[in-house]
A and B are shown apart, each in its own frame.
Chain A
């Protein structure tokens, strides 16, 4: 599997480490009154789609970027690769 790194171009997936569902970017606000329920969902509840899935990949043997990779879990086809920080910032995080 080749991951097309947005900055460094196509790299073998062996250079990367899978770091879980990209929903981990949406960390709840601990000050929210519903924080306990939200953190339980955040920590334990995962979708398990047969098809497109947004995942975090860490370029451990490269530039140490976190990437959001949208991948078909049934075919391993990769639809898009983005820097995770760009995705997080587009959702209003760390702006």
Chain B
């Protein structure tokens, strides 16, 4: 057995936490991800499989849904699943069983880093980062946008909590971009 030391996307043993003004920015390493892309003719089976995993109906364009396991819409007939890593390390295997060959599943856990913004008036930060229309980006919204030249998924968990998923290999660049916007806003 290899004796490997787990590090977060920013390369430390513990997740990075930053505070500035009313905003906190936290690195969130503890999540498993898997993408689901319905194969042609398998759209209905895929939507039902997602509902079995997350509870509510598979989210429509621009939204996320679920509780412990959530799904967010990533494109036509495509979603990403996200769940706590501790209990769902093998999320993708579960998804493979559920979709019965009607969708393609890709393990995505190691591909992304997640940063969570918490605090009041997050729109002031977000409007410096990306072209998302924050007036309509409310609880349940999820979309992909370009932040600091990186394609990122942005989820509005609630009015005071936004998650940003960016490419893990550019975690430090994204972290710098987020901090810069927070300091510019407050």
Contacts and interface: CB of A to CB of B under 8 A. Distances in A.
A63 B145 contact: no
A59 to B, nearest CB: 9
B145 A61 contact: yes
Interface string B112-152: 00000000000000000001010000000001111000010
B interface secondary structure, majority: strand
Determine the main DSSP class of A at the interface with B.
loop
Contact size range, A: 10 to 19
A14 interface: yes
A16 to B, nearest CB: 11
A76 interface: no
Q: How large is the interface on B (under 10, 10 to 19, 20 to 34, 35 or more residues)?
A: 10 to 19
Interface of B: 40, 61-62, 73-76, 131, 133, 143-146, 151
21 contacts: A7-B76, A8-B61, A9-B62, A9-B133, A11-B131, A14-B131, A15-B145, A60-B151, A61-B144, A61-B146, A62-B143, A62-B144, A63-B75, A63-B76, A63-B143, A64-B74, A64-B75, A65-B75, A65-B76, A83-B76, A85-B76
Given A60-B151, A83-B76, 18 more contacts: A7-B61, A8-B62, A8-B143, A11-B131, A12-B131, A15-B131, A15-B146, A61-B146, A62-B144, A63-B73, A63-B75, A63-B76, A63-B143, A63-B144, A64-B75, A64-B144, A65-B76, A85-B76
